[in-house]
Structure 1
Amino acid sequence: MATIHDRLRNPDAGVRRIAVIDLPYTDEEDDIAPLLIAALSDADATVRLEAAKALEGFEEPEVLAAIAPLLRDADADVRAAVAYTLAELKEPASAAALLPYLADADPEVQAAALQAVKALRVDAAFEPAVQALAHADARVRRAAVGVLGYLKNPQAIGSLTEIAAHDTDAEVRRVAIGALSFANNAAALSVLPALSRALTDPEWQVREEAATTVARTGSVLGVPHLVRAMEDEYWQVRVKAARSLGKLKARDGVMALVEALIHPLSNLRKEAVIALGEIGDPRAITPLERTLRDPDPDVRKLSKLALATIQMNGGAA
């Protein structure tokens, strides 16, 4: 019977491919990393692809040094597999193998490298990410925004607010708004114009993200903008605005939330009920009592909880 080594050297690429797939489960070899690294240089793309997939979770320097160059592989499927494997890295020290690719001439390579270092949160990625915000390719800008959002460096707030307000790509604007979630206290004031603009963005996904981000900054300065968002034509935006009003305990949002209690969409009614309970304003008691007859049983249950919370905290009609 052919050994795993024999199969890895077989002239038939299909045999080599299956051998690579079998490697993690073999008891013939204790150290499979060198064999997988060797398979990364196979002439057949399907073998390289399986080797890249099998190396997920390996963070030894020699493994990363071998796999990172395959971000430039001629085969698109191999590049995708390598990008996925690298994006699963957990150890910050692994970023050293990726830093040279953060400004690669190929946008696909650059975007994949930025995506891979995002969760590693290494300071060395900050400057390359800031520079990448000006890239012509939206994929690179999106990945760069992700890096900056994870790093939570206040020095990035100005760049992120600018791209959130003016980028031509809606998805870039959306992720930039989400990345601004780390802005709080004094910084929240500087991002408010960008959040306000985003709540009127032509794309509802951007408005939805902005409605969530306002609450994450913890700033009540965004409450008037959230109240206006409760009239958005898309229910997805209204739901997130209601949720944020509740998290901010925004008493100025009570009447907008009360109006949402009669909306045809039960999900919005639920969020409004929850938010009113979180805010605890006694003005909500009578409207909430009416929702005890809501056709949706979840709304009725949540209304009971909201009323109990308000009354427990001293609210009175």
Structure 2
Amino acid sequence: MKWLFGRRDPKSKVSSLLSIWHLLETVDLNRPELADKLRDFSARLEQELESAKNVVTIRAQSGRVEDVDFIFDILNRLPPPPERLAPLPEDDDFTWEKAETGLGPVARVVNRIRITFQSGIVSEYEKLLAEARRRNAPQSELEGLKSELETEIRQVDLEFRRHLKNLMLLYQLYEHCLDALARAGSPEVEQELIKRLRAAQPQERIFALNALRRRQFQPRTPEQTLDYWLAQAKLLDREVERKQAERELERLIAQTDSFDSLASLLEPRLAEEGMVHLQAQVLERMAEVAPEKALHRFEQLITSTEEPPELKIVAVQTTARLLLPAHLEPAVKLLVTALDDLETEVRVNAAVALGSLPADTPAQIRTAALDRLLFALRDGDLEVRQAAARSITPRTYPDAGSRLAELLTGDTNPNAREYAAHTLGMNFPPAPETTPALIQALSDPDAAVRKAAAEALVAQRNIPTDPRTRLQFFCARQDWGALSGAGKAALECLLPRLRDLRPEIRLEVARLLGRIRASEAVHDLCVALSDSSQEVRKAAARALAEIGDPGAIPALRSAIGREGFREVREEMERAVKKLS
């Protein structure tokens, strides 16, 4: 069957032609009857391409929206041509495998139909060969059938190469549609193309962009410039072209002096396209153009739960760099608010920014910033605690020493106490209001706080000289060698550590008590035979054996009866044997 235009109008004829391509492109290509459809479609394309081109040209010249719609519909239904068409069907190095890669969708369709059609021919010849062999036909007859098959395959190959060449006319029609839009002299066509740069469908934007580029379009307004380069930055295949488009957008941002244009045009469009890095540049430009308005926008951004954290970080950094000196109170308020953000990196940057307050910051504002930084020392994320600790310095916050001392000795949160000690050691010299707090913290219930206090005293070159306090310092610093050298004098600070929350501390203390043979620790070591850690139970049994007090035997025997780990039980049994 042949598809003929008959009396239909030219627009319907083109639509009919594309419907056949859609059928070939989407149906199961393993159906043998598609070979006839392909032959008819190939012949029709060859005959009617020029007519289709003329329809497109006339429609493009009209400038009407419905005609532009019609051309866009054609483009949407046509296969897009590859960047470089090779190898061509008439080339000596042509193979169907290369064609599928180099000639795009039309080659894939033609080749699938060719394979199905050729398979049918091969199947028929195989039947003939099988029948000839069953009849014991002479070899010459068999060779003749094979030769016929090879000839038939060559003819099929040549035929489908011709069909491929004809179907590549679809690529010509695609290019002609873009050229027709590019050559259309009507201003309405250009306006329609510009409008479609913001279409919801990416393919429609691509068509509009390609047509405008062929027109050598030069944007005349900031909005046109934005849409034109945005489309290129988002949709072009070549990275070098996308990068060039981004540079043009950066230039547009840098040249925009109106806050309203930045806030109402550039930022929303860039956000819509997901171009966060360029949206960040718009935020920086806002701060340069209109600082007070920028602060208001930054506040909206920081308090939003939907804005990307990258933008919040830019808002925080821009506030610190450009807005703090001249707009101190609202800028500090913004940074304090940012310390409540859910994103760790936003809070880190806010904490860092609050470490750079100007020297003439009023006391009230400085106190508000310090209060929030001190609270950040208890943050659940280590990076935030570290950033807050680095920002609290005596130069920026002269009154912070006494506040940190209060935090170190009175706060219920161990993170806050630990990082108060870290802050004092990192940034503050010894002082009458802080040294006693660090000494007191050497006996803190939390091992991390004790160690931070000890390291702070080291950093301040303020190691205690009083023997009793010095032993507490060694214990807090977990300097087991120094404590071993102190012998039984260290018992006062060691025995409480057998009940420390951290098993690694309890383990080291149990081992140390055995090494110094501390008979005063027998009771505590017998209690440690029931420790939740098997390593601590094992070390306690070994320490009791080293101390050599037979009074520990009943506790050891009782522990053996309930011990579930063989190696711990064996250690306890060895201790009993040694003490008996």
Structure 2 length-normalised TM: 0.31
Q: Max radius of gyration: which structure?
A: 2
Of the two structures, which has the highest relative contact order with CA contacts closer than 8 Å and spacing of 6 or more?
1
